A and B are shown apart, each in its own frame.
Chain A
Amino acid sequence: MDSNEKTWKCGKCGVPLVVKKTVFSYLGRTFTHEVQRCPKCGNVFIPRDLAEGRMAEVEQQMEDK
């Protein structure tokens, strides 16, 4: 199961995370992606497959070779 599909709770606030479009900045560029986010404190959960997949590819493309 995709880890993004699980419903997680915020470790700090104890409330369920909600999926929300979130802005990421990297090397001067901003990107948006839907991730689970705490509606109270704004902390986001980055699932492993996103970190090792698309985010890693963005990093590779932006950081040249």
Chain B
Amino acid sequence: MWRLLNLLLDRLEEWIIAFLIGAATILTFIAVVHRYGASNSAFLERWAAMHGLVILAQASDRIYISLAAINLSWAQELATYMFVWMAKFGAALGVRTGIHVGVDVLVKRLSLPARRPVIVFALLCGALFTGVIGTLGGIYVHDLDPDQVSPELEWPSWIIYLCIPLGSYLMCYRFLQVMWRFLRTGSEPHQSLGLEYEAPHADTLVGEAAE
């Protein structure tokens, strides 16, 4: 049951993140195209009218009117919020996949038994920080005026800011999960850096030395 829930959480996390980055990209792209479509069709209309191309002028006028009728000023704001949410949840995913870069030069030079407490300490610090931030963010959201809205979308601010406590607590959970896994199975939180070619860091060097 617990494993199933975890699996569900993993998949949900991945889908939300992939959706947010994709949607925000398309949204921004459409907003750019829209802006240039509108300004260029207005330009084209004037140019065509000046040269007596009545049909072209009318067509571009119609395009301009229909484009100008769509107000996309909220798009930039929504895209920004989507990215902030993506960043917060992506950071939690990053703990699980070990993408957060750290300075591991010193740790990798330690012998394996000596490395254990250091890694646990580092992971605990991570859990502590994200837990504190989650709580602070929660207090902040709680204290927000419920009627306060965002400038363009006019969505309640507290919902938008909710990503701080949610993202941070999820990250805290991930740190504890990684630590639990490390204590039980000894599988180190690796640093893959998102490359096809997994960066082994100083692993290989120290590994050879340890033998």
Q: Do A and B come from one complex?
A: no
Residue positions of A touching B, CB distance < 8 A: none
Residue positions of B touching A, CB distance < 8 A: none
